[in-house]
Structure 1
């Protein structure tokens, strides 16, 4: 039983290490792939409007040539990165939920997280589709939809982590799940901030 859970935990850690290695490799090759003007735009946007500017810049700077100086493309890329991370997290948590070494409360909390993260994936996917069709007289309607869905995804992350509250839940399961969800929540928060910024810029005279 314990061995089964340890196996899932090791798988989770391996995925996290892969992600960290990938981000470092992207940072290493970035100077030859992107222009300073485009990365400056991303850094300035991240610094001015997001709560986690370092994460914002690290996760988006490798896409600078695609984003250029477009607030819409910046918001869309942030959504795309967040969706990918949320999908990966969903897979890991689903695998963890199949472990036979979980305590009852842990199993219940993870089961809730599986559903909540699944809902977040749907909301982020719908947000990307809506953003792709924004423009004209329906701009505010679509923007409101996106803000509602991304905010909902962020609430789902918080609710998932709340399921592991209390000292009785302390342990590797709580540490692993909350670590994964916190990373996704921070990306989601940044994406929402960049979406709000895009909306504000669009409204400006």
Structure 2
């Protein structure tokens, strides 16, 4: 009799486990896989994954938290780039013209940071808004403007007698934040908000 009960309990347990397993979503099973899958839709997937995987614990499998992390990381990187470029502008041996071009570049990056901060604020408030589609359009517009500002930073270098070393260093920094911004926009474009 006891043997029959054990078998009954075992069969019922297996049946329940199979039902639970069948009802689980087929989404990625780990946060890393979630981030990896999400980043595969971006223009720079390796950069995206390297940037966001350190935030895996806080992201979980939440697309909104993923976008928030991407924006925070991009804003942080942009601040570092603005600081680095400011130091370049203060170096001895840089001409007044080069300093002016670099100052314009810094201003463009600061504009980009402001636009990303607006996007971040809007994302953090959007869940309680009835005008989500309108807010998402604003976010996408701000992010697109941030990408333009990042690119405009180095446009001032064209046709100038600026040091190649200065151009290259600033160019590398700006390209990186442009890519981070592009990835953040790509993740935002995949949000479901209706």
Q: Which residue of 1 aligns with 2:139?
A: 146
Output the TM-score relative to the length of structure 1: 0.76
Match of 1:190 among 178, 183, 191: 183
Q: Give the 3-state SS of the residue equivalent to 1:122 in structure 2.
A: helix
Q: Secondary structure at the match of 1:169?
A: coil
Alignment correspondent of 1:79: 71
What displacement does 1:51 show? 0.4
For normalisation by structure 2, the TM-score amounts to 0.80
Match of 1:101 among 84, 93, 102: 93
Task: Give the aligned partner of residue 175 of structure 1.
Answer: 168
Count of residues paired in the alignment: 166
Unpaired segments ≥5 residues, structure 2 = 1-27
On the 8 A contact 2:132/2:193 being kept in 1, the answer is: no
Instruction: Report 1:1-205 matches (<5 A).
Output: 37-47=30-40, 49-135=41-127, 136-166=129-159, 168-169=161-162, 171-198=164-191, 201-203=192-194
- Per-residue deviation at 1:167? 7.5
RMSD: 1.8
Deviations 1:75-115 (A, max 9, x none): 11100000000111111112222223113442222011011
More helix by proportion, 1 or 2? Answer: 1
Q: What CA distance in whole angstroms lies between the structure 2 residues aligned with 1:86 and 1:167? A: 24
- Which residues of structure 1 form unaligned runs of 5+? 1-34
Residue by residue over 1:105-145, the C-alpha shift from the partner in whole angstroms, topping out at 9 and shown as x without a partner, is 42222011011111111111111111100124221121111
